A and B are shown apart, each in its own frame.
Chain A
Amino acid sequence: GIQVEQSPPDLILQEGANSTLRCNFSDSVNNLQWFHQNPWGQLINLFYIPSGTKQNGRLSATTVATERYSLLYISSSQTTDSGVYFCAVKPTIGANSKLTFGKGITLSVRP
């Protein structure tokens, strides 16, 4: 099946810093989503971005589908940004509809 690799696995930032989180995937996809898992375990949908660029406040994401990667940018980070960030994809080929998740990136933002 499709492989999803996220990097770096852990990231520590000082409040106010910027960061870039990366997601590589092994096959062509027609669905890619970024999620933030908060300390209570809830999965918050950040972006649905199978291609192109989107922005939402301090967060933005870019997916270069032809090169099989996606980037999540966090600017002016806040302590509330802490948590685990997951990338999840669905391959273009095949009839299945499931999302395959990466292992996540654990972000800690220090005051």
Chain B
Amino acid sequence: GAVVSQHPSWVICKSGTSVKIECRSLDFQATTMFWYRQFPKQSLMLMATSNEGSKATYEQGVEKDKFLINHASLTLSTLTVTSAHPEDSSFYICSHRKPNTGELFFGEGSRLTVL
């Protein structure tokens, strides 16, 4: 069964509103989780690394004030897209990494459409 649960699967919002996506680790306590974004017909791009109890680490070019990440517990990380615009429409996927293997396991993904 799924080891990473992500919610919601689909979200449609108006431009200027904020959207929160939740990601839960179901099989172990994950001190680190990863947020990816995928535009149509493109590969996964790492946005940020979510660290439990501390600030997230953002990849170059990703606005930390726009994509707020909170990792308040060992099983839950959230991504909030603030003041969303149509160009933020994408497929957002979270994952965790299995210890000692480097293997990533992904949530179901959240497809965001900003009107």
Query: A and B, one complex?
Result: no
Chain B residues proximal to chain A, CB less than 8 Å: none
